[in-house]
Chains A and B, each alone.
Chain A
């Protein structure tokens, strides 16, 4: 990996700290599941082109946080502004934001009754009203980009986990999203398949995509993230540039967490 270019581009992004450049802006946000206070006073600004890795113990609210960004979960207090549009009950806004924010799930969630190609072309055809031929062509382009064009006409049930996850990434990319959310994209995969998915994600990062990735792949975090965020008990405990984050964790809970994931 070209580490020099990487740090270079990181500096560039860091210098462009203009508020109009915000891809996501979360302010004083709280969320409850019934009585359970799952997200507490979240403040997070994500610049365009910025890549953020979110880690933390299981149950700390990482999934809930990124699912609030495309309204798979509803927050009760504070504000979330995505790409200049605030998330409210307005269905039109929600649909607009969802079509601009791609999401990749831990368990892929491909549509099992459709082929890989149909999975990819579906949303462009039905949400963006792209003509079928054009949508298929674009879908094929993205399947090539995630390196499985030869699997285009197979059903998800006939693909390996790694291949399914790459189709899921291609499916999101077909909507030309400006932001990509990943919720533990490799944690349901066998070790030998993790690499092929991470490679695709690194390439995506190099293309300048704004990415929020929940993952415990520290190698990936060090290689591509501008910032690593540590969450525990529904709060953002600590955030830092990856090398500093791993070398010099400030908070006791961060230290404990890092020692656990590095020694298992």
Chain B
């Protein structure tokens, strides 16, 4: 028995619950702990407040408070401002909005783009929410979606054909991004499994493919797509430029996904393979039910990182003459009526990409938290 310095006036095991010490909870407690806990922390907090105070108000004033939303042209826009060129002229972006969204897709057929977009939302829903009723039945819809959307956008089989050269703007970025993401994930997983296979020939092929694609810049692959790819096709067949770009973007991203997934596969203890084998599961069942769910979970940050990179890289297609949102913006700036409004255009394009990529990043965090089962 040790003697305690203060006498104990309760029976052991009956210590009452006490409230936590004051000022460790609530907003004041939070600020004390997180913002003002040490001299260095105080300085850091003050510097951050100063920097934010000197940046945010002018930007808000330029972009929102004093901005102009309706005007005929640049001169008209500036005439409406206290100081010419002193605020944003969103009227410019507004006048080009249709172009930013649909590119040169024929006016009369734009409902097909809108319908595809609605279908896309329904295809993403079961991926986002696993509690959706009848989620199993959605699976085939999700698999079929790229083909349905492809038919809607390109036409044929009863719909007026639309030349893929007329695709542009946000619609083009989404087409390349969604196609790249949805095809590169399964291809990347297969490449990662091939790289781990016991079959030397298969393993070698996968390693060569992955290392070759990873060792070449995407821009080079895009130039290959725009100039050389037709040499490899049988004479007489022409292959739309968009199709070639989609293939290049997909295999480029698949090579990266393969490496990310391989990292995840290596993080799975050998005991998981053995337990699955010992229960009599086949290779494919073991991977589908045991190995991949765990490996993909570890790989989520890397996979989403690759997808974000892919989506941003869609702007590179402007180098081979396709007009993604950035390309549309640059073309619009060449218009004499509106020239000189680059800030508005680039900010608009930046915000579009930021919203898409930031949502993906948030979704990946949500997924990680949801899949955490305490191990």
How many angstroms between the C-alpha atoms of A156 and B374 in the bound complex? 8
* B281 and A105 within 8 A (CB): no
A96 to B282, CA, bound (A): 11
Nearest CB in chain A: distance from B281 CB, A: 6
| Interchain CB contact under 8 A, B282 and A107 | no
Set of chain B residues within 8 Å of A157, measured between Cβ atoms: 373-375
Expressed in whole angstroms, the Cα–Cα distance for A92 and B375 within the complex equals 34
Q: Does A122 contact B (CB under 8 A)?
A: yes
Contact B277 A113 (CB under 8 A): no
- B282 and A95 contact, CB distance less than 8 A: yes
**Is A70 part of the binding interface, using a Cβ–Cβ cutoff of 8 Å?**
yes
- Asked whether B202 is an interface residue with its Cβ less than 8 Å from the other chain, the reply is no
B279 and chain A: residue at smallest CB distance: A123
> Mask for A106-124, Cβ within 8 A of B = 1, else 0?
0101111100000000110
Specify which chain A residues have a CB less than 8 angstroms from the CB of B277 in the assembled complex: 70-72, 98
Measured between beta carbons, the chain A residues less than 8 angstroms from B351 are: none
Say yes or no: A99-B280 contact (C-beta < 8 A), given A72-B274, A113-B293. Answer: yes
Minimum C-beta distance from B367 to chain A (A): 13
The interface residues of chain B lying within 8 Å CB-to-CB of A96 are 280
Question: Does B275 sit at the interface, judged by CB under 8 A?
Answer: yes
| B289 at the A interface (CB under 8 A) | yes
Q: Which residue of B lies closest to A158 (CB)?
A: B374
Q: What does the 1/0 interface line of A57-77 toward B look like (CB < 8 Å)?
A: 000000000000011100000
Contact: A103 with B278, CB < 8 Å?
Answer: yes
Q: How far is the CA of A53 from the CA of B277 in the complex (A)?
A: 23
Q: How far is the CB of B191 from chain A (nearest CB, A)?
A: 23
Smallest beta-carbon distance B139→chain A, Å: 17
Among residues of B, the one whose C-beta sits closest to the C-beta of A96 is B280
B285 at the interface (CB under 8 A from A): yes
For A171, the chain B residues whose CB sits under 8 A away are 279
Interchain CA distance A100-B11 in the complex, whole Å: 57
Interface size range on B against A: 20 to 34
> Is there an interface contact between B278 and A122, defined as CB atoms closer than 8 Å?
no
Residues on B with beta carbons closer than 8 Å to the beta carbon of A103: 275, 278
Within the complex, the shortest CB–CB distance from B291 to chain A, in Å, comes to 10
Q: Kindly state whether residue A175 has any CB partner on chain B within 8 Å.
A: yes
Contacts of A111 in B (CB 8 A): 272, 275, 290, 294
A127 to B371, CA, bound (A): 25
Chain B residues, CB < 8 A from A113 = 293-294, 297, 371, 373
Interface centre among B280, B373, B375 (most CB of A within 10 A): B280
Restricting to B255-290, which residues have a CB under 8 Å from any CB of A?
Answer: 269, 271-272, 274-275, 277-282, 285, 289-290
CA distance A163 to B73 in the complex (A): 74
From B371, which residue of chain A is reached at the shortest CB distance?
A113
Docked-complex contact B280 and A105, CB < 8 angstroms: no
Nearest B residue to A67, CB-CB: B274
Using CB atoms, name the residue of chain A closest to B271: A109
Instruction: List the B side residues contacting A122 at CB < 8 Å.
Output: 279, 289
Seen from chain A, the residues whose Cβ lies within 8 Å of a Cβ on chain B are 70-72, 95-96, 98-99, 101-103, 105, 107, 109-113, 122-123, 126-127, 155-158, 171-172, 175
A-B contacts, 24 of them at CB < 8 A, read A96-B280, A99-B279, A103-B275, A103-B278, A105-B271, A109-B271, A109-B275, A111-B272, A111-B275, A112-B294, A112-B373, A113-B371, A122-B289, A123-B279, A123-B280, A123-B281, A126-B281, A127-B279, A127-B280, A127-B281, A155-B374, A157-B375, A171-B279, A175-B280
Top 6 closest pairs, chain A to chain B, by CB = A99-B280, A157-B375, A157-B374, A109-B275, A109-B271, A123-B279
B residues contacting A by CB (< 8 A) are 269, 271-272, 274-275, 277-282, 285, 289-290, 293-294, 297, 371, 373-375
